[in-house]
Structures are given as C-alpha cells and as structure tokens.
Structure 1
C-alpha cells in the first residue's frame, strides 16, 4: 500500500485516538459490562435492559451528559431498586469518577447491602475491578465501608452515624429506603437537607438519588419529595385502542373467587390479560404529570412486575383480599406493593380543612343549651399552659368551649393564678343557666413535674388531678391512680399526689372514629360539634397526628400545627372519666338529674334578682356588748343586754 493510500487510514486512527471519549449512558454501560451475581439475583448472567424497561430512564438520569441533578424514585419492593443503584454506582466508578456516598437506614441494612450488592459488583464485574486501586482485603485504603478507586472514593454510611455523614463530601449521593432513613435519623437534622449538603462542593456536576417504598401519609419523606417532583408515571398503550395510560390498582378486576384477574382499559373498556403486559411495557414511556418541576420523580406499582420476577396479578389480588380488615396487612400491601403512602381510612375524613368546614355559626360562649357538664384538660410546657375546656351533653356529645394558652413559666405563681381563675369561672349557657368545671386533668410529665404536683396538692380547682401518658399502647382511657410522692426516707408519702395513667392511644382512636363518622351526619346528630370561632390552628392541631399500625401509636404529621389542641382534648376526655364523675357511664336518669340541677340555677338566679329588687333596706346591726377581756358576752337565749 502506498503512502498516499495509507494516509487517510493513518489520519483516521490518530483522530480516533486523540478524540475526546464519548461517555456511555448508564443503561449502555450496564448492558455491556455488568455481570449479575447469584448472590444478588436469580441467575449469574449479563445485565439486560429489556428485562425491566422501567429502570432504563431512571438509570440514564445519572449518565455523565444528563442534565438531571435530583431524582426521587417511589417504587414497590422486589422492583430492582438496589440494582438501579448498583448500576449507577458501577458506571460512575468506571465512566464518571467522583466521590460517592451510599446512605442506608441502619447498620444491619448497610452490611446486607455491602454483602449482597457491593461486594458482588466488585468481585464479578471486571470493569469495576479494573478501576479499583487495590483489591487486597487488608489494605487500609479499602475497608468494608470505604473503597478507593481511580478518580474517586466510595463511602457507605447509615442513619445511625450522622457524624460521619456530616464530615463527608461527595459529588453523588445514593440514599436507599429514604423514608426509613429519615425515621431512623436521631440527630435532629432534616435528612434531605443533610444529604444534599454533602454535594455542595460539586455545584456543577452533583447528582442525587433518593429511592424507596413509602410509609405513613403525612410522615413519608419519599412521598413528600415525589409530590414536589415532576411526578412521572409509566404509560403503556392499550393493545386494542392504543390509548396510553398508567396501570392503576383501580383498573384491575377479578372474579369473585379471586382465581382470575385482568386489567380494563379506561378508554375503550377492553379486557387486557396479564400475558399482554410484556409487550405493553416494552412500548411504554415515562410521562411527567407535573412538568416544570426542578427534580425528577418516578412512581410505579406492582402491576408492572415483569412476568417471572414478581407476584402475578392473581397473587396480588390474593394479598389484597387477605389484607381486608387488618390495618397492618393493608398498610404493608399499600406501601410495599402499590408504592403509595398509607392512610388510615378513618383519618381520610378528619383532615383539618374538612373538620373546620363542619364548624357551626354559633359563638363559643354562651354554650349551647344541650351542654350539661364541663371538664378541662391542661398540658404543661416550659413557658405556657395550654388549656382546653370541653362541654359534654347526652351520649358524650362534646362542644369545645374554649382553647387558650396561658403564658408563663409553671415554676412561677402568676400562671397558676391565671389557671385557677380560668377553671373556677362560671360558664353561662344560652338559656342563662350556669355551669362550672366538674373535673380537670393536667399533664405532669416534662420539666415542671414538681410544680404540677404542688398545684394539685393545693386543691384550688374542683376535682383537679395529675395525669401522664400510659406506657402501654393498649392501656385503658383512664387507669388506676398511683402515688407519685416520695418522702425523705425514700418511702411513698400517703399524703402525696395521685397521678392517673391516661390511655392516649385509646382516646385518640375514639376521637378520630367520632370525627370520621360525623362526616355524613347533620350538625345536630354529630358527636363532636364545633363553633366557627375556633381558629384554624386549633383544627389543624386537633388532627395533627396519624395512626401507625406497625408501632400501634399515633405520630405527628409533618407540617401541621402544634398538637396541644389534641393533647388537651385527650386530657379533658380523661377528666370526664374521673372516678367521682364517670360521664361515660351516665344513664338517662343521671343526665335528667343533671339537667334538673342546671335548670335550677336559672330559677335560683331569677329568685335572687327578685329578692334584690323587693328586699327593704336592712336595719343596722346592734353592737354586741364586750366583756372586760374585749370579747362578746353571750347568755342563754341571746346576747346579754
């Protein structure tokens, strides 16, 4: 070959050698170089993108040339979330090296991820082995939770060690099971802000992924981030009419025996069998339902499981049918299979705006004529005393009469003087009858326990008792009182304060059940009735918690007002169960007797007014004689003249 003929080939070879390398996409790298291990998957083989097409776009967001910076993926279990993270990790180590943090919820899950995902990636993928600076297990530069590779480092951390997380900078953060990570983080930091802060040193190239299954509605961090994202769902075409639509649980139908399940197109109504799902998914695409958001969000459910890599539709139907009537099982199915936040059905009708809309156009005071008894609940804070006064009628129908926060340190006398005046003040009904607080219960836990005990001992308020939240979640609404005072010998003081354990979980269940059933009732039929003079913060605080069946307790909903209105209502209800009152056990005769007593106050007030108008001026009293010692002299039959 002559030089003239060879020259183009030489130039092409040199140009190819000196041309900048075009980085691969993550999905391309995975299909070309990723080797699956039997430790983390069913078969040891090369990675194939067509096995689960929904994973491709999520992975490609982390390619070197992708402009995407933040991604949140809300996916069901057994959907390959860890495989997505592993492919992104391997690609970044080989094609776009930078410091990387992988954050997991706990030390146990961290060790499991290292054994099942990280170590097999390094051991069985030659491309990753080639970039490791040392493969010796005893090298100081390659510990179990730290790996050094060409151009970067890998840090594996967990929520139980926030100090190490705060001291690490990285260009990429992969947070696995983010909602669980947030709930296990005990440092008080916001988990999203803390993880995002790790990438501040890489403003032009950082990438962050938060992935996981959701948890409780209102407290689920992965759902909170998804709601702020562009909310992408995977649309598939109907095999009959071609209409694109996401697969939703409401579109799945089954026979009465649950032995056959099929999907129904929402456009043409045609029956879609599960064997058609593979072709539909292959032709599907991610569609943003909130376009324009700064972050990417991906959501899919168990209906998208590739055949052979997850439960079939009929198996999902069996799980759903088995979960009915069991809140814990239902929560697990909705979280793990539908990848949606779980919300107690009873709580759906007790959102603060719905409760506020039920308020009646009546003043707080004078109270309605059906109110026959009054109790109060007092919370104790370091700088104030939140107080709620609640009126009760027949059948334990309640009317929140007032909610106030008395400012002042409970270690000082002023706030207790204000509390005494508030609880001893007469409460007027619309018909002129006068009510008084029948019983009150005050929280004694916290930093002001001794101040509460001292006030209760003084007995300045009728039937005022100290209380505290019971430890057992299945405790009765009001337990047996216990002495809580110890004398200088370390023995129980019999003249001490009796404190009552309050079953807060039971009372909150009772309140939310009433609020839920009230949704479809007329105002006069409701069990909990409100005045429209109550503030929105009161309504928000009253329903500021939600029930977690996994822990069997109520927990605060993020972003809601303070929960003192709920706590004080709980204490006011517990006060209604006072051993000397027991409103919940009152029969019709008891309510009739109380109503007669209340109406008698009207007659007494009228009689007092009449007597004041007709009474003649009283004659001045005669001075009684004094004896030689300066005391009044008495004799049988009267004073001595």
Structure 2
C-alpha cells in the first residue's frame, strides 16, 4: 500500500513538472524582464550591477513597445549618452530567455559587428545569470557558437555588418535589430539596401519585430529621421514643477548662465534636478500610428548634466569661430541633441566673382600674421600643380603661390625640380622668412611608383613631404589614418576629402578678416587668376539617389577644373598632420628666429615648434 502511494506521488510530480514545462511563459514586459534579470557589466557601464529602469525612466516605454504584440516596428532616433545600446542588449537578452526565436543584429560594418559582440554582448551574457547557461562561450571549433553566431534553445542570434550581403540574405528571422542605421552603406555589395534585405527576412513571421535605432546625421539623407517622421513621433516630456503641464526637453529653452530650463507654459525657470524630480511621459503626435517612434536627446540623460551639454555647445561654437570648421557643431547637433544637421551646401556657396574681388596686392611673399607655410602637390600626366599656403591664428590663410612645373614625369630631373621648389624661401616685407613646413603630395594617378620613390628620398632627408590618398564619404575626418605601403615602406595618409572640402567651403564663406578668412593675392605672377577662383569653387554638395537611397555627394560644376580645390585640401591636411604649436611658432616667427638666413642651404631645417604625432620636432 505504501509502495502504491509513493508511485502515485511520483507520477503526480512528473505530471506537474510536465505541465510546468508545457505552459506558456508569463506575460512579462521587456522592462520587467530587465529589472528582474539584467546585470550591467563593469567594462561597459559606470553603474555596474542590477539593471534599474527607473534610473532612466524614458527607456521603459521604448522597451515595452518592443515586447508589445500591437507593434511590429519600433524606431528610436536618439542622441548619445541615453542608453540606446543597452536597450538593444536588453532586447537580445529578453528574446533569448523569454521568447526564444531566430534573431538578427545589424551593425554598420562587419568590424563593428565583431566589436559589438566581443565588447558588449559577451559581457552581458557573462554577467546575466538567466542567459549565461543558454549561450555557450564562443569557440573557434564550435560552429554553432562563434563571435557572430550564438545558438540557444529555441533560437539563434546572428550579428552581421550592413556591408555583408551574405549575412543579410540568409535564413528567416523573427526579430531584427538595426543599430546605427545612418552609418549603413547605400547597398550591401550589389544586393541592394541593407535595411530592405534585413526586413525581408522577417516576412514569414506574423509576430515579427523590426527595431531601428540610430543617431541622426544630415537632413535629407538621414534614414532614422525619415523612419521617425513616418512613425507616431513620440517625444519625452517632464511635468513642470510649477504649473504641472508637460514639457519636451528643448535645448533652446536652457538659460546658459545657470543651466535652468524655462517652462513653455508658465515661463518659470527650474534647475535640472527640479525638472527631473517630476513625472515624465512620452507624448506621441500620432498616437494611433502602429510604427512606434521615439526621439531622445541628452537633456533626458542621467549620465550627462545640462551644464556639461551647454559647455559642449560653447566649445563647438568657439571651434567654429576660430577655425571655420563646423564638424564639432555638427557632431553636437547629432550626438547631443539627437537632431539632423541641416546642410545648406546645395547652392549656398560663395560666388566666383566675390572671390575675385577679395584679392589684394602683396608687397612681399608673406603678409604679417602668417606663422606657418604648407603646400599641396597634385601629380598630373605632364606636370605638377602646386599651391603654397601660409597660415595664421584660427586658420586664417594666405594664398602664397599657385604654380605648375611641366615636364616628363618619368624623368628624375622633373622630380628634382619639384624638390628644389619645395625648398623655396618665402619672405616677409621686413626680411624675415619661412620655409614650407610640410607638404602633402597625391600618390594616385599614373606615377604612383615615382611618387613613392620621391617620398622615400624625402624621408631619408628628414623632409616632411607626405604621400596622401583621398577617400570620400560622410563622417571620415580630414586626416583619417596612416598606412604603410608594403612594397616600399612609404607612409601614406588617408584623407577624408569630403570633410576637407566642406571645411574649405565654410572658410571661403567667411567674410570678416580673422579666423578662417581666406586671403588671395592679386599679383599676376602668383597664379590666383579667374581659372584658379573657379577651380577652388568648382564643387558643391548635392543629394543624389543611389539604388533608391539618398546620398550626399560632392559634384563638380560643368566646365570647371577642380585641381585648386584638391590642392587647398592637401595643404589644409598638411597643417593637421603636423599639428603645429601655434604659440611657440608665433613667438619664433615674430622674433625672426624661425629660419636662420646665415645657415648654408644644405643645413636649413624646417621651422621648429611643429608637432608631428604629438612630439615637437
């Protein structure tokens, strides 16, 4: 009898366990899962330990929309410093643990995909107990679990680059997370738009999820901005401590002196802490829209103070005023405010005639204010084209000479003539003089080997004559990276020529003499004629459609030559490469000791006070 009771009891336990396994999981929201299970890693977070959605309450509705069956498409247009990558990681953890299914994460490049997996995902898996045992560690011999592929019970996670057509067109998936979509290429190889390719992989799932997250870029080409505009357009709002009405967090309503924000309803000002002690909620302009859209800026972030944001803006404006560069301001608009940059380059250019009228007579090679000279060299089939440019405080510039050296570039004597010209001594009116501190020479075209050999000889003579290659594309800095030609050992600098052109155009539009202003000589022998002025102003930025997607490109105006623009780009890059110590140079130039005329020509050195890769030489 006792034996039968034991058997009956065991059978009941087995039945209960079976029911428990077969029953559907509890209806758990993503934010609830994160609060209960997620652990923040020390390597990737300043606040390691248990996840707490209340720390950044704006994240709750975003995450819960992802786990809400009413919505298939979620769009997050966001600044930096608001935890958007953590939302992506929470989504991955939730799917692995709570809704096992095939999942795809798309990063801008394959390199970015590997970095995301190794630096962020691996740490989350390691430190979050409920998914740790479900995903095996990456092993090179285990085809089921690698850096870019993670298999778990009931599903698989694939991580790919948007430039990988193979990764985007494989097996069906239910959940696809597009991270930083504004950094995607226009096409994944020859297969087309990477977002379209990824979305097509979800077509067989009734409960599919498509999540797009990104910092925006330029108006008209920003993918995340276009997606947001087609969504419910949610904005995070905080309740006013005085009148109780809700306000979006807007930078324009900040008072800079005390970092207080004005209420748009009652006009009262309150501090950051007073605002953030109040209730917050998302207000959607089109609440019935099934595409759930969210816009966030750094003002909502608990990790960046309003005073720090104001300081970043002031720094960007100071940079623009001192150098004419808008890159830092553009980055602020995109990464701090989470807004698109409105680019006015399409037609908003200085006129050729205006540049011609700007020219002035030079009574000597160099004008007062010049501190440093650089040069750019373009290698053509039958000539060198060279521009020598003098620079002063705030990147005020003076065109010194535009020159052509014609000849057979297969012959060494022509390259010798170029070397001798780049050793030219340029004089101020009072007798002081400067040498060219650095030169950038293009190594493309039909004389690459000759250019490499020339640069190698100049390196042996300790002359700062650098080989360069141009690389187009949005977001690539002017001095992008340094590589070494494996055959010759020559150092080559990769230049982000699009950013250089944008910088030059901004400086050409500077109308007040001072930082960023471009001076040109009227003296005929200097070479700054109508052809030059048309050449430096020969390109404009236009939006073109490539494979159906908008792309911002520099387009040459009909009937013009763009060598002057290229050469000014190279001369500008030379300044950035040597990273001059302006204070030191200015003192030496004013004292007339930057170049010692009494030295024999063979012993003349480049101006001191120049910094190359952070070391004064």
TM-score for the superposition, normalised by structure 2: 0.56
Aligned residues: 411
Q: 1:273 to 1:182 in 2, by over 3 A?
A: same
Equivalent in the alignment of 1:231: 233
Residue 90 (str. 1) matches residue 87 (str. 2): no
| Structure 1 contact 347–516 (Cα < 8 Å) conserved | no
CA shift digits 1:198-230 (9 cap, x unpaired) = 22232x121111112122333322222222222
Equivalent in the alignment of 1:131: 134
User: What's the C-alpha RMSD, in Å, of the aligned pairs?
Assistant: 4.9
Structure-1 separation of matches of 2:294 and 2:186: 22
Equivalent in the alignment of 1:242: 244
Unaligned runs of 5+ in 2: 1-12, 358-379, 390-396, 415-496, 512-538, 566-617
CA shift digits 1:235-280 (9 cap, x unpaired) = 211110011121011011122xxxx311110111111111123322
| Structure 1 contact 172–208 (Cα < 8 Å) conserved | yes
| Structure 2 contact 37–130 (Cα < 8 Å) conserved | yes
Rg comparison, structure with higher value: 1
| Structure 2 contact 80–335 (Cα < 8 Å) conserved | yes
Q: Equivalent residues in 2 for 1:28-67 (5 A)? A: 28-63=32-67, 65-67=68-70
Q: Equivalent residues in 2 for 1:177-326 (5 A)? A: 177-182=180-185, 187=190, 189-202=192-205, 204-255=206-257, 260-280=258-278, 283-306=279-302, 310-324=303-317, 325=320, 326=325
Q: Equivalent residues in 2 for 1:176-575 (5 A)? A: 176-182=179-185, 187=190, 189-202=192-205, 204-255=206-257, 260-280=258-278, 283-306=279-302, 310-324=303-317, 325=320, 326-344=325-343, 347=345, 350=348, 545=542, 559=550, 567-568=557-558, 570-571=560-561
Q: Equivalent residues in 2 for 1:119-198 (5 A)? A: 119-132=122-135, 134=136, 137=139, 138-182=141-185, 187=190, 189-198=192-201
Structure-2 separation of matches of 1:265 and 1:70: 33
Structure-1 separation of matches of 2:255 and 2:75: 30
**SS of 1:234 mapped into structure 2:** strand
- In the TM superposition, residue 30 of structure 1 has moved relative to its aligned partner by 0.9
Q: 1:574 to 1:333 in 2, by over 3 A?
A: closer
- In the TM superposition, residue 556 of structure 1 has moved relative to its aligned partner by 13
Unaligned runs of 5+ in 1: 1-9, 356-389, 398-448, 454-464, 493-502, 518-541, 548-554, 576-641
- In the TM superposition, residue 343 of structure 1 has moved relative to its aligned partner by 3.0
Structure-2 separation of matches of 1:516 and 1:253: 29
Q: 1:319 to 1:62 in 2, by over 3 A?
A: same
| Structure 2 contact 31–63 (Cα < 8 Å) conserved | yes
| Structure 1 contact 347–512 (Cα < 8 Å) conserved | no
| Structure 2 contact 346–541 (Cα < 8 Å) conserved | no
Q: 1:127 to 1:562 in 2, by over 3 A?
A: closer
Q: 1:571 to 1:182 in 2, by over 3 A?
A: same
In terms of fraction of residues, the more strand-rich structure is: 2
Q: 1:264 to 1:15 in 2, by over 3 A?
A: farther
Structure-2 separation of matches of 1:158 and 1:562: 23
- In the TM superposition, residue 515 of structure 1 has moved relative to its aligned partner by 9.4
